[in-house]
Amino acid sequence: MTALLDVQARFQDFLLNGGDGFLDLICDTSKENRRVLAGAYYDAYRLRLIEVLDNDFPNLHGLIGDDSFLELAAGYTAAHPSTSENARWFGRHMTDYLRTNEPYASQPVVGELAAFEWALGEAFDAPDSDTLVAETLENMASDDWPGLVFTLGGAVRRLPLSTNAPDIWQALDGEQVPPSVETVYASVTWLVWRRDFSAIYRALDLDEARALDLLASGKTFTEVCEGLCEFHPPDMASMRAAGCLQQWIADGLIASVAT
């Protein structure tokens, strides 16, 4: 191991785990000892990442409170050191962390609220993509319609949630008292996307969620219609599919169409 690599390995180990292994490499000053000086980096590492998580999950913080959020941030930071060039993505494992670590694994609303909050953040600054306009579709030959496939915009997120986490998030975001936690019988798919530079969301009916799943997976318009036959008679299914498509285009969810 080179001297430079040794310095860096021991410094990083100190930042992640503490201990004395790094202190042999650095100097006291006349005003301060080396442990305090190295500690400035140790503390800054943690404070910086807590701030990042707080910025990305302000309503998760509000839901569980200050002490629990600091404890969560410490546990998360130890479990998932950042591997991204941008701290913006440091919190991307938070939902999984909450779903697999107690005490939150047994409180699904916490993980779901984090997932919802993260999706809103992603939608806000996701890379720009094209937006399909209705005229493009209107100009397509009617023979092409059955085989049309669509691509969703890069800012669109779909979240199946089993609790009323979005309602709780909305109350916390508005600095209102959140409603009690409710668990729904069948999960509801929430749509999160961006319009006019703002992240927005709405709940999808079961049939619309199914249609959007099929469309997002690359199924043709005919296959989307067939999927809706699970919910509607065949003649109504086609009309419902066309209605959904019209709404998605108006919402700016669709990036492109291909035959």
With b for 16 or more beta-carbon neighbours within 10 A and e for fewer, the 172-202 pattern comes to beeeeebeebeeeeeebbbbbbbeeeebebe
Residue numbers 72-91 binding another protein by CB under 8 A: 81-88, 90
* Residue of 191, 166, 167 lying closest to 244 (CA atoms): 191
Phi, psi of 7 (to 5 degrees): -60, -50
Residue number, 200 or 229, with CB nearest to another protein: 200
- Give whichever of 97 and 221 is closer to another protein, judged by the CB atom: 97
CB 14 within 8 A of CB 42: yes
Report the b/e string of 110-141 with b at 16+ CB within 10 A.
bbbbbbbbbbbbbbeebeebeebeeeebeeee
Least distance from another protein to the Cβ atom of residue 235, Å: 40
Query: 170-209 mask for another protein (x: CB under 8 A)?
Result: ------------------------x--x------------
259 binds another protein (CB under 8 A): no
Task: Report the residue from 127, 135, 141, 143 that binds another protein according to the rule CB under 8 A.
Answer: 127
d(CA 107, CA 166): 15
Report the nearest approach of another protein to the CB of residue 40 (Å).
5
Report in angstroms how near the CB of residue 34 gets to another protein at its nearest. Answer: 7
Q: Does 154 bind another protein (CB under 8 A)?
A: yes
125 touches another protein (CB under 8 A): yes
* CB closer to another protein, 14 vs 104: 14
Residue 244 tokens, joined: 């959904």
The DSSP call for residue 179 is P
* Cβ–Cβ under 8 Å, residues 36 and 6: no
**Contact call for residue 44 and another protein (CB under 8 A):** yes
Applying CB under 8 A, the residues found at the interface with another protein are 2-5, 7-9, 11-12, 15-16, 24-27, 29-32, 34, 36-38, 40-41, 44-45, 48-49, 52, 81-88, 90, 124-129, 154-155, 194, 197
